[in-house]
Amino acid sequence: MQIDPLYLSVDKNGANTRLDLYIANHLKAFSRAQIKRLIKEGNVTVDGALKKAAYTLKQGEKLTIIPIAEEPLDLTPKDVTMGIVYEDDALIIIDKPSGLVVHPSKTYRKATLLHGILKHLNDPDAFEKKERAGIVHRIDKDTSGLLVVAKTPEVLKSLQSLLKNHEITRTYVALCDGVIPHNKGTINAPIGRHEKKRKQMTVRTGGKESITHFEVSERFTDHTLATLKLETGRTHQIRVHLAYINYPVVGDPTYGLKRYKDEGFNQFLHAAKISFTHPLSGEAMTFESPLPDIFEEKLRELRKMKA
């Protein structure tokens, strides 16, 4: 696939700026990782010459950037173990195992939850974005538990509206590093993308409003079991908020204190309950998921240490 090159001219404000930083400042569609790859693979030239990412630009220099052609996503339906707990003509309730990614992306092309969902949809092509067909909300790869999937575009819009209006209640259970002294509380801190670590989120000025309610269920010697409810639904919200108050999710590979090597279960965060009104029947629906065996085993170990 032919991709047209992009051109930049260095003005006086851009002089003495690193090459990679200048591109990042002027081409917001590219992530830092993508820019690094473009430079490394020779897709960026300065006045026709290859330069390193740290090259200091001079006023008047001309940059040529040739984007890398990405292979189209494979959206072939596949057999995926995804834990269906309820299904009707309108929607599916899935109890996702830890380790399963919800949908594919340019950087993740293995089988995902979406590939399994596609086998349950009558017309995947009816969705505006087939690569997100039916996805109402996501939970992280290493988070286990419940999420709702729409089987038609009309139901998808209805469920997304419920979610936007806070009419879908989601309850999570997290094992936290450290002993939380308060029995309950609310974390109200805006979340936005990290300025330097572009794959991470952080509490920051100018971020989107983010509210998480928590209640302590059980305390251990060095850990806390907490129940949490989302009032908003930002990327990595619970993980970022718990790390922000210095009680991160145990085993969280990004925001946690240390990584736990439990096979198939890296972070102890579980979407335990979901409640909403069925968009077609109007019936009040609630689904609950028990903690995974590895999670329960971890709690038993902690109780023995406390005894």
Residue 75 lies in a domain: no
Considering the domain architecture, whether residues 55 and 167 belong to the same structural domain is answered as no
Residue 76 lies in a domain: no
What pLDDT, on the 0 to 100 scale, is given for residue 264?
A: 53
Provide the residue-wise pLDDT of the chain in tens; the chain has 307 residues.
557 899 999 999 999 999 999 999 999 888 888 899 899 999 999 999 999 999 999 999 999 999 887 777 888 989 999 899 999 999 999 999 999 999 887 777 788 999 999 999 989 999 999 989 999 999 999 999 999 999 999 999 999 999 999 999 999 999 999 999 999 999 999 999 888 787 899 999 999 999 999 999 999 999 999 999 999 989 999 999 999 999 999 999 899 986 655 545 679 999 999 999 999 999 999 999 999 999 999 999 999 987 6
Are the CB atoms for 61 and 10 separated by under 8 Å? Answer: yes
Considering the domain architecture, whether residues 105 and 133 belong to the same structural domain is answered as yes
What pLDDT, on the 0 to 100 scale, is given for residue 260?
A: 59
Considering the domain architecture, whether residues 54 and 165 belong to the same structural domain is answered as no
pTM of the model: 0.78
CA atoms of 160 and 40, how far apart (whole Å): 40
What pLDDT, on the 0 to 100 scale, is given for residue 262?
A: 52
Which CATH number goes with the domain that contains 44? 3.10.290.10
What pLDDT, on the 0 to 100 scale, is given for residue 112?
A: 92
Residue 193 lies in a domain: yes
Closest CA to 249 of 274, 270, 272: 270
- How far CA 198 is from CA of 137, 189, 238, 249, in Å, comes to 21, 19, 18, 21
What pLDDT, on the 0 to 100 scale, is given for residue 263?
A: 46
Considering the domain architecture, whether residues 22 and 127 belong to the same structural domain is answered as no
Considering the domain architecture, whether residues 52 and 88 belong to the same structural domain is answered as no
Considering the domain architecture, whether residues 149 and 286 belong to the same structural domain is answered as yes
Catalytic residue among 20, 95, 140, 252: 140
- Helix (H) and strand (E) counts in the chain: 6, 15
* Rounded to 5°, angle at Cα 21 from 20 and 27: 85
Considering the domain architecture, whether residues 169 and 129 belong to the same structural domain is answered as yes
What pLDDT, on the 0 to 100 scale, is given for residue 306?
A: 78
Q: Quick check: is 140 catalytic?
A: yes
Residue 94 lies in a domain: yes
- Supply the range of the domain harboring residue 198: 84-306
Considering the domain architecture, whether residues 132 and 259 belong to the same structural domain is answered as yes
Number of structural domains, the chain?
A: 2
Which CATH number goes with the domain that contains 108? 3.30.2350.10
Considering the domain architecture, whether residues 15 and 108 belong to the same structural domain is answered as no
Residue 300 is given by DSSP the state H
Q: Per the structure block, which two tokens stand in for 211?
A: 């509210």
Considering the domain architecture, whether residues 36 and 116 belong to the same structural domain is answered as no
Residue 1 lies in a domain: no
